[in-house]
Structure 1
Amino acid sequence: MTDVTSEDKPLPVREPGFVRRTLARPATRFGAVLVLIHLVLALFSPWLAPHSVSALLGAPLQPPSSQFWLGTDQLGRDYLSRLISGGQVALLVSFGGVSVSLVAGTLLGLIAGYRGGLVDETIMRVVDTMMSIPELILIAVLALSFGKDLLALTAVVAVVYLPGVVRVVRAKTVTLAALDFVRAAELRGESFWAVLIRELLPTLVPLLGVELGVRISSAVLKISALSFLGLGISQPTPDWGLMVQEAMGVIYTDPWFLLFPALMLSSLIIGINFLVDGISRAAEPVDGGGSIVGNSPAYRG
């Protein structure tokens, strides 16, 4: 009599999607909620704000009341309305400037890392020269030169963050260019630009997503610092950095004028950082058992 045994085949483990992996950690979900709240406030502030941000509605420095929930500022404007709208400038300038720097920096980094030689040396010399200047000093000098309007500040952010993106992308491209999938594309007769766009660029997408979030967080803080120093957006446009500067004169008598914009600014930066951390963790490839795969060309080096 023969015993017949059969081996049970394990059911394939379905890997969770990118969004689910990103939001798997409570800290990431908390960060996503904070960022979403700030985006809603920035986009819909004209309808959410109870009063005009520039209208003089009452006596200066009124305490919170049923009419003005957070009181009025030094000029008699509704403080809550200006607080709700205060993130528009920082988010718009930061996202616009960092996006431009990411596109231009990725292109230059890919060319420098893959072409090498004189092209690489020339690009990196310019990058090293720009990065030798502290970011806050560079952004302040450029703001004084370009002006204080939204377009000028967006251009300033793009220029300041461009060299950092070039350096990161170039370093990753140098590593990827030596791998087999790039060599195979070259043996197939793919052109220079085809290798950059079809082979190298897709493997950089997770890295670029993290770079976008990290640099937006940094840019928000620096744009607010410019406004605090009087080099950013000027009155009557509401801005959290400008509101912090104005609150310094009444910090001992009306401390909430400093507290609320500082809380809004810090919550936005914390939310972005938590969300970026979740994105970077989710971008790491995993096998069926949940272990990180280390031999994917996009994550080597």
Structure 2
Amino acid sequence: MAKERYIPAAGAVVLRPGADGPEVCVVHRPRYDDWSLPKGKERPGESGPEAAVREVREETGLDVRLDVRLDSQRYAVPGGDKQVFWWRAGVLAEHPWTPDREIDQVAWWSVPRARHELTHADDVHRVEQALALPPTTAVVLVRHAKAMDRSNWTLVDAVRPLTRRGRQQAQDLVPLLGAFGVRRLLSSSSTRCVATLTPYARAHGLDLGRSSRLSEEEGSEDPDGVRSVVEELLEIALATGQPAAVCGHRPVIPHMQHALGLPSRHMATAEMVVLHVGPDGEALAVERHRPTS
């Protein structure tokens, strides 16, 4: 008997301010003659956040920034099980959109209308969940991408570079960080950390801050210094509402996790932990992602 397929998909509850309160972006699918939320299947090698942002763009013409993660949804489809990962999202930009066979209408509905006219009860649940959660700001902790082995490097460790795989991981982080709209970057001053965030900084025209306090040489034995740097980044992110990312080393990561209120936990190379921080500075949700390269 053939093994049933697992089909990952992703979507978003896209909200915007309206004259009479929040409005929800909905789409009409002629094949099913239903009104639903934008979503679609992940492509091979694509992460959930990347898929959610891409599907929203394709189905609505909207560029969005993902916010807090919502409940996922799993159900049977012909040939397997489909799991949809959901996020709340806000609009960054709007582009011309042309109806097609998959989506022939896009609309902004008031919350009362969405409650009564969305075809599927699960979509109504996700809208209610998105509205019930307070505003959040994403703060992303990144472990640097794969670096050259110490045993093969003869110069000072601070300038040890990324391997070819590490450089690919750094490139693969660009759409992942972009899905959460990261606008502020901070790195250890060491080359392998700087190189991990440089592709994203270049792609979005952002400055990349550097701190020697986050380096392995200084940060490993100075948890107070690490905490001070990370807490300052968190304060700025909350004050400005701009999502931020900070990159560090394996021995320093536990101090960075502590500063962000996270339990100490191993992170793989190029792995990122996304904290969705509420107005009071407490993390309301945490998710982990890693490039497939």
Fold match (TM-score > 0.5): no
Higher CA-based Rg: 1
Point out the structure with the larger helix share: 1
Task: For CA contacts below 8 A with separation 6 or more, give which structure has more relative contact order.
Answer: 1
Point out the structure with the larger strand share: 2
